[in-house]
């Protein structure tokens, strides 16, 4: 069972759109997260009060998720259960250099840095533009980070 995990915003967004092909996978993943004890990892500065939030990941969640959606409900429930772990935004410098070489998108870099600083080093993402399969393999080989889909993560719980 995973003790902690990082979730890309797109996975939570897919659970609010029934027309999205990964809607069911995302919804099942979120419901499983609610049942288990796994913590959500975000970068430091997170606050469930949007006006006090200084977390980049938190900002992405609050900017993109609809209030009342399954994804936003997950964030609220995990916060109430004290299952949100705040981790450093930066990994060790040698890892940061590798992340910067592999990933162009600065927000995606934050997700990877936080994932590296987590216990389980697992990022759940449906972003195959920035995290193509070859890049996912390279991230695993070079950073020991698993970038997996919500469907694949269901077996990890």
Q: Residue 46 is part of a domain; what is its CATH number?
A: 3.40.50
Chain segment 23-33, per-residue pLDDT in tens? 999 999 999 99
Chain segment 99-130, per-residue pLDDT in tens? 999 999 999 999 999 999 999 999 999 999 98
Report in angstroms the alpha-carbon separations of 70 from 11, 13, 94, 95, 114: 11, 9, 37, 33, 23
Asked if residue 63 has pLDDT above 80, the reply is yes
Domain that holds residue 94: 4-156
How many domains are contained in the chain?
1
Percentage of the chain lying above the pLDDT 70 cut: 100
Give the three-state DSSP class for 1. coil
What pLDDT score was predicted for residue 56? 97
What is the pTM (predicted TM-score) of this model?
A: 0.95
């Amino acid at each position: 069972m995973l003790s902690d995990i990082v979730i890309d915003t797109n996975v939570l967004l897919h659970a609010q759109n029934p027309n999205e092909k990964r809607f069911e996978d995302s919804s099942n993943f979120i419901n499983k997260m609610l049942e288990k004890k796994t913590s959500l990892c975000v970068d430091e500065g997170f606050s469930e009060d949007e006006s006090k939030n200084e977390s980049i990941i938190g900002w992405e969640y609050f900017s993109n998720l609809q209030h009342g959606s399954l994804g936003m409900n997950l964030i609220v429930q995990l916060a109430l259960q004290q299952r949100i772990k705040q981790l450093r935004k930066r990994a060790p410098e040698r890892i940061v250099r590798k992340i910067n070489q592999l990933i162009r998108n600065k927000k995606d870099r934050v997700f990877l840095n936080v994932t590296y600083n987590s216990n389980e080093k697992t990022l759940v993402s449906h972003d195959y533009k920035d995290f193509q399969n070859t890049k996912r393999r390279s991230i695993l080989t070079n950073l020991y980070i698993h970038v997996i889909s919500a469907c694949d993560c269901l077996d990890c719980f």
